[in-house]
Amino acid sequence: MKFFVDTANIDDIRDLAATGLLDGVTTNPSLVMKSGKDFIPLIEEICGVVNGPVSAEVAATDYDTMIQEGKKLAKIAKNIAVKVPLTEAGLRVCKELTDEGTMVNVTLCFSAAQAILAAKAGATFISPFVGRVDDIAMDGMNLIEDIVTIYDNYPQFETEVLVASVRHPMHIIESARMGAHVVTCPPDVIRKLYKHPLTDSGLAAFVEDWKKTGQSIL
């Protein structure tokens, strides 16, 4: 499973990239607003930090403007994945950009039917939002399972399932169990994966016992 971080905070991106465990970055207009930075220079900076896909989202909703924005974003760097909404216009843009060799991340997916359309449009990634589905008292993980199952039935679909709106580590674990290709998570959720009380207590015991030996490795 690939790990993307869902943020526009360059410090968090640098920190996580330094672990060697980060495979890409996803951003959206809300995250860019939160960063307080100018969009294009920020995306350029992020692309210089990570080698994997960096999702940069179009701002328009109509086809004509969206395709212009998408083509401009694609020129920023080779690892740009243009992010488009799962609308009729968005899928039209997806098909055109994909045919030109640009990676496309189709976002705001909330149904398996939408995911089928994105795959047919040639999307590189489909982003189903599990947390937002959970928020309306439905099971977001059922959506992931449905999409993974459908995609597996059709080898010609090359679209990767990118689980988005991840709220906690169990979303990641369940997604991995179902065979999702990618998860994109806020930095704090990724960092929670390291944590376990038995790891902490075990390490503390090892450190104390090592002190008692009076030895040093260096």
pLDDT tens, position by position, 152-197: 999 999 999 999 999 999 999 999 999 999 999 999 999 999 999 9
Residue 188 lies in a domain: yes
pLDDT band at residue 135 under the 50/70/90 scheme: very high
Residue 207 lies in a domain: no
- Domain harbouring 24, CATH code: 3.20.20.70
Q: Which of 37, 71, 78, 83 is catalytic?
A: 83
Q: Which runs of consecutive H residues, i.e. helices, occur in the chain? A: 10-17, 29-35, 39-49, 63-74, 88-99, 112-120, 130-135, 140-153, 169-178, 187-192, 197-213
Degrees, nearest 5: CA angle 71-74-77: 155
Residue 210 lies in a domain: no
Q: How many CB atoms lie within 10 A of CB 77?
A: 14
Residues making up the chain, counted from first to last: 218
pLDDT band at residue 149 under the 50/70/90 scheme: very high
CA dist 2 → 77, 164, 176, 202 (Å): 20, 12, 10, 29
Domain residues for the domain of 184 are 2-194
83 noted as active-site residue: yes
pLDDT band at residue 96 under the 50/70/90 scheme: very high
- How far is 95 from 34, CA to CA, in rounded Å? 30
pLDDT band at residue 107 under the 50/70/90 scheme: very high
- How far is 55 from 83, CA to CA, in rounded Å? 6
Mean residue pLDDT of the chain comes to 98
